[in-house]
Amino acid sequence: MRSWFITGGTPGGFGMAFAEAALEIGDQVALTARRPAELAAWAHVYGDRVLVVPLDVTDAGQVQKAVRTAEERFGDIDVLVNNAGRGWYGSIEGMDETDVRGMFELNFFAVLSVIRAVLPGMRARGSGWIVNMSSVAGLRGVTGFGYYSATKFALEAVTEVLREEVAPLGIGVMAVEPGAFRTRAYAGFAGEPVQEPIAEYRPVLERVRAAMIDQDGKQPGDPQRGARAVIAAMAQDPPPRRLVLGNAGFDVAVATLEESLAELRASEPLSRGADFPTAS
């Protein structure tokens, strides 16, 4: 029986989907949430196999305490799922700097805090899994969500390097890149009017907001199926370094990488010509 530590336990979201998928295969779960009372009835069904831990992942002290609480209850943490995060929209020029920094605190720096809190135990045992929930937006930037995309691009880089650093220690690392999934991620957009201070960008952001509202509750991705796909990928030999989830997300990822490769090859003479001439 493995022990999981999962952040971002919003009802109906990926965190709960991962928890339920882990419980389905007989594991036990510590699921964190900023509002743990929302999970009380759900957790009660599973008895001692579930521990709901209050946690604001942007508070490094709370992170350390939450990890210790989970380890005291379950012993080792075998699987970490960094799921907590959120997206805000706005233009690159106009988004409030406080909001930009807040998004990086939540989507990037908080992930580092949790990883650093869990890794010592995994290193000591020589085993473990770290699953970082990225996004297709971490492979292709999304108009109107430039800074959200930037947080996910940063997470992709850290995940890639961390994988190489800890592989010799027996620890697996995977980036998961969902497309549009039917979680509550878009639920708040209807009540959040566009705050863009620069008039020239408002039309495109209004379209972005309208599209998010229109998609809410109709996204094609199923979080339960997505979580099970990740567990299946972890069991592969070798497991993938990254896993895109959803048909549309897969198509976008493939098209993006193919376009990038074609562009690189088209500029190959310029790229290769930037070195000092080789001696003849």
Active site residues: 134, 148, 152
- Sorted by sequence, the CB contacts under 8 Å of residue 180 that are 6+ apart come out as 215, 219, 220, 221, 246, 248, 249
Asked if 248 contacts 219 with a C-beta cutoff of 8 angstroms, the reply is: no
Asked if 216 contacts 187 with a C-beta cutoff of 8 angstroms, the reply is: yes
Lookup: tokens for 41: 């009835």
In this structure, which amino acid lies at residue 98? T
Asked if 25 contacts 50 with a C-beta cutoff of 8 angstroms, the reply is: no
Q: Which segments within 83-188 are labelled E, that is strand?
A: 128-133, 171-178
3-state DSSP assignment of residue 30:
strand
* End-to-end C-alpha distance for the chain, whole angstroms: 63
